[in-house]
A = this chain, B = another copy of it.
Amino acid sequence: MSTPVLDKTRLFRNALGSFATGVTIVTARSAEGADVGVTANSFNSVSLDPPMVLWSIGKNSSSLAAFMEAERFAVHILAAEQEHLSGRFAKSGTDKFAGLEIVRGHGDVPLLQNCAARFQCRVAFRHEAGDHYILVGEVDEFDHDDHAPLAFHSGRYGLFVRNEPPAAAEGAAPPLLAELLVRAEDALLRRVEGAMGESGLSLAEYEVLRSLVDLPLTLEDLEDWAGPAQEIPTVVLVEDLAERGLLDAPEGGAVSLTDAGRDALARGTAEIAAIEGTELGGLTPHEAQLLRRFLSRIAASAED
């Protein structure tokens, strides 16, 4: 698995990519008073006392001159939501700051908002190293918010998900995914059931309405159908919903939603979404997003 280095720049870049990093934008104000900024993932801490950080800038960067002259720079550690800023500051030739709300830091350095952390620095050293310069800054002011960080690995943006201590039942076989799915669904439905109210629908009624949006079925078709939360026969539910004006259920014809039925369904969906939006099982919004993504992939895999 060894590779002698000749001019294998691409292979070297790939190997470097296996080190996960955050993403930063470093800004400065040029001697002519222009705002400059570049995306860099070569940031890192150096010293705690005095507080110092470093990053590297390529000799062919269009912002090199400004950063070689400026006495100050500011490093912004990007939050997960700021991927678009990373892309914007990685390209040259555009006004990178156009439309961004900035504030002025020490030395009028432009500071971006809503980052995970910001470090305002005085340049302590500039060290030449190959095709880059290492810029070491002494930090004289910083701030920090608890945003989930933007992460970068092998040329792709992503998220950091922390490890958890191993579960109590160490050594035991892990529970089957099929069982976990059933248990999670059960827990979620119990939550939803307990909280639905304003829409005037039970969860079982909601499921009946929801299923009829996609496929118009006759009462006969519905005899065999049952949603996960359902204990009352579907035909009974349908008759009740029709009496309340939420469904049209003509003898022998397809059952369909009325306008009132569509409204009730929309309110029910909003209610369920609101419950799912609470910190279900302590999942952060990013973790919940990942969970949805994984489930979608498994659901889609049945179509392979």
Contacts and interface: CB of A to CB of B under 8 A. Distances in A.
A296 to B, nearest CB: 6
Contacts of A3: 141-144
Interface in A148-189: 149, 151, 153, 156-164, 167, 173-189
Contacts of A54: 54, 56, 129, 134
Contact of A160 (B49, B153, B177): B153
B295 A15 contact: no
Interface string A40-73: 0111111111111110100000000000000000
Contacts of A46: 42, 56, 129-130, 132, 134
State the number of copies, please: 2
A119 interface: yes
A47 B145 contact: no
Given A134-B54, A161-B290, A187 B302 contact: yes
A231 B144 CA distance: 56
Interface of A: 1-5, 7, 9, 11-16, 18-22, 24, 41-54, 56, 77, 83, 116-117, 119, 124-125, 127, 129-132, 134, 136, 138-145, 147, 149, 151, 153, 156-164, 167, 173-192, 210, 228, 269, 272-273, 276, 280-283, 287-288, 290-302
